[in-house]
Amino acid sequence: MAPGTFQLEGDLAESSSQTGDTTCVFKLRRGVRWHPKPPVNGRELTAEDVKYSVERYVGPANNPDRATVEEIERVEALDRYTVRFTLKSPFAWFPDAVASTTAPIVAREAVEQRGDLKRSEACIGTEPWMLERDEPNVRLT
């Protein structure tokens, strides 16, 4: 990428395209895996995970990123690796806004088993690091 181009590079999405004035489609990277621990046990991240996470994130009225997510009318998992967002009105900066938001992608089964995801054992992601141990007010390993 050339300096100053401000081209988006997704961590989970390999590409995005605006297929209409109010439609944006993201293609997910294949082979992205959740951490190898329960309840996901290293399964592959899918479009259903993104759909679930966005719908979960749009819900709360006190969401600090409300300006970004309130434009979403509908999110659909078209197949295992494709997510389509339909917006309430045209929003050309939607891919940039989604890339800069703090909306986490979470596994449904982690939420179902661990609730609010505030406890350290609920720390499950797709990043290259994984929480091994949490000693409150002392350290994280």
pLDDT digits (tens, 9 = 90+) for 110-123: 888 887 777 777 78
> Over pLDDT 90: what percentage of the chain?
37
Task: Identify the pLDDT of residue 84.
Answer: 97
8 domain residue, yes or no: no
Domain region containing 78: 13-140
Q: Report pTM.
A: 0.86
2 domain residue, yes or no: no
110 domain residue, yes or no: yes
- For residue 35, give the nearest of 135, 134, 128, 138 by alpha carbon: 128
At residue 35, does pLDDT exceed 60? Answer: yes
Cα–Cα distance measured from residue 135 to residue 141, given in angstroms and rounded to the nearest whole number: 8
Cα–Cα distance measured from residue 106 to residue 2, given in angstroms and rounded to the nearest whole number: 32
At residue 80, does pLDDT exceed 70? Answer: yes
Domains contained in the chain, number: 1
Q: What mean pLDDT do residues 8-18 have?
A: 84
The mean-pLDDT minimum among 7-11, 69-73, 92-96 falls in: 7-11
Task: Identify the pLDDT of residue 53.
Answer: 87
At residue 5, does pLDDT exceed 70? Answer: no
Task: Identify the pLDDT of residue 55.
Answer: 86
Cα–Cα distance measured from residue 50 to residue 58, given in angstroms and rounded to the nearest whole number: 12
> Cis link prior to 128 (omega < 30° from 0)?
no
Q: Residues 107, 108, 113, 119: what is their CA dihedral angle, to the nearest 10 degrees? A: 50
At residue 76, does pLDDT exceed 80? Answer: yes
Phi, psi at 140, each rounded to 5°: -120, 140
- For residue 15, give the nearest of 1, 29, 2, 32 by alpha carbon: 29
4 domain residue, yes or no: no
At residue 102, does pLDDT exceed 70? Answer: no
3 domain residue, yes or no: no
48 domain residue, yes or no: yes
Q: What is the CATH number of the domain that holds 27?
A: 3.90.76.10
